[in-house]
Every structure is written in C-alpha cells, then in structure tokens.
Amino acid sequence: MGTLYIVATPLGNLEDITLRALRVLKEVNLIAAEDTRRTRKLLSHYQISTPLLSYHSHNQASRGPDLLARLKKGENIALVSDAGTPGFSDPGADLVASAWEAGQEVVAVPGAAAAVAALSMSGFKGDVTFVGFLPRKESKRLEFLKKLADERRVLIFFEAPQRLGRTLTEMAAVFGRRQVLVVRELTKIHQQCWRGELTEVAQNLGAQEIKGECTLVLSCPQEKPVKVVDLAAFLVQLARDSELTGRRLADHTAAELGLPRRQVYQTYLHLKNQGLIP
C-alpha cells in the first residue's frame, strides 16, 4: 500500500517551503501537480528530479483512477496544487477522498496556505469560515453573498482580479460596514494589500486595473447594542424618507445597523401589522 502525501508548496516566494516537504518531494515515486510548469520551477530550484505528472480539473476524471491504481501498487505519491496547500478550491480534495475510500494512507505535509496567510495579516478576530471562489455569474454571485449576510464569522474568499472591483461593490451592498483585507500576489515581489471598511476599499479599487489572484478576508460584523425601540424608530424613519419597502427596507436596515436580517425583518413585520409603516 502506498501513501498519498498532501504537500504544501510556496505561494510565490520559493523560500516558503519546509525541510520535510523538500525531503518528501525527493523521496516519493511521483509528484501529481495541478500546474506542472510552476511545480517544475520549484523542483528545478531545489534540484529535485522526481517524475512529474499533471492532475487538474480538466483531466482528474481519467488521471485520478490511474493515480489511485499506482497507490494500490505501493507507490508513494506527492500531491501539490498550483500553489499553497492542496484541497482549497482545487481538485486535490477529490483525489484525497478517493484515497481514503480505497483504504490508502493519507499524510499531510503542512506549509503555505493563502487563506491562512491572509487571515494572519488581517488582525480580524473571531471564528473563521473559508468560502473560496464565488460564482462567476453575477446573479448567482449576488444570491450567494446574500445567503452569507447573517454570517457572524470571519469569511475568507478567493477572487480573480478582473472581478475584484465588482465583487467588492456587491459585498459592500450586502455586508454593510464590515472591514475587509484584500491581498493580491500574496508573498510575491509585487504583493499589495488594502485594508479598511468595505465601502471605502470598494471605491478605491473599483477603477484600478488589478493583476494577480486575490485573497479577501472579511471581518465579523461590528457588534452594536441597538435596542428594539431604536430599530423600530430607524425603520419608520427610513420608510418615510425613502422609497424602500418590504425586504429591501429590512435588508438595507440590517446592513446599515449591522444587525441580523431575520431580527430586522421580524421588527418590520411587527411595525407593518401595527400600520406604522407601509
């Protein structure tokens, strides 16, 4: 029986690799890489000559069974992603699951991970949820974000540069005054970071041409001790001063006050039943 090693590789800086990872990459029979071009640069830099094979989203259906068969024959395989730790928004998780189901040994060789690195830079406290990439289609993306509107934990996203500005604008509309850290080209020479209130960061980056993959860390909502009577007064006044009604009124209020949407909507229904707002 062979062993599948889940090996973390550098995000950009080739020095960000552990001594154990280098040893494993040298000793295994095969390295399965999401991007063989990037992995080959790493192997060349450390003079590692282990055979390299591609394993990515376009060939995993055919390549996965082949790799599993080699494990069953007793070969040891190192799985590496495009960069960082395999299993975060890449097909590595499928191979790992298959290895477990087949009774093969799975061993983690921890190291660089974009989500963890960005979180450590953020300074945001609280429990954490890794979200990964958002849907590309605008309607599905906005619907997905709205489902996270009441989430009280720190959220971590990946985003492509061409969609960054639009995504930040949509996040600002859904999450209100939460703080965000945006990091592009993490650990690389041209790394850049932006941190601040969502609306401000969205405005600053909306017109900029961003290159390189981005990691976003969204803070927990700012806790505000708002009394029910204050919430009710806010809803009544907003209904009078704007054309917002129904769920749009409740959603806007929840984002503005940093309150759960369900609590705001229930207060809205109560006021509506009393005839205080339309």
- Residue 241's Cβ-count burial label (10 Å; 0-12, 13-18, 19+) is exposed
Three-class SS string for the chain?
A: CCEEEEECECCCCCCCCCHHHHHHHHHCCEEEECCHHHHHHHHHHCCCCCCEEECCCCCHHHHHHHHHHHHHCCCCEEEECCCECCCCCCCHHHHHHHHHHCCCEEEEECCCCHHHHHHHHHCCCCCEEEEEECCCCHHHHHHHHHHCCCCCCEEEEEECHHHHHHHHHHHHHHHCCCEEEEEECCCCCCCEEEEEEHHHHHHHHHCCCCCCCEEEEECCCCCCCCCHHHHHHHHHHHHHHCCCCHHHHHHHHHHHHCCCHHHHHHHHHHHHHCCCCC
Query: What pLDDT score does 226 carry?
Result: 45
What average pLDDT does the segment 32-56 reach? 96
Residue 229 above 50 pLDDT? no
What average pLDDT does the segment 15-28 reach? 98
Please state which of the ranges 17-26, 78-87, 110-119, 202-211 shows the lowest mean pLDDT.
Answer: 202-211
Which is more confident, 95 or 257?
95
What average pLDDT does the segment 118-133 reach? 96
Residue 121 above 90 pLDDT? yes
Residue 141 above 80 pLDDT? yes
Residue 278 above 80 pLDDT? no
Query: What pLDDT score does 187 carry?
Result: 94
pLDDT, the chain, mean? 91
CA 206 to each of CA 65, 142, 160, 162, 166: distance values in angstroms, whole numbers, following the listed order: 44, 17, 14, 10, 7
Query: What pLDDT score does 223 carry?
Result: 61
Summarised one tens digit per residue, pLDDT across range 247-261 is 888 888 888 887 888
Residue 225 above 60 pLDDT? no
Contact 140, 212 (CB under 8 A): no
Residue 21 above 60 pLDDT? yes
Summarised one tens digit per residue, pLDDT across range 158-196 is 999 999 999 999 999 899 889 999 999 999 999 999 999
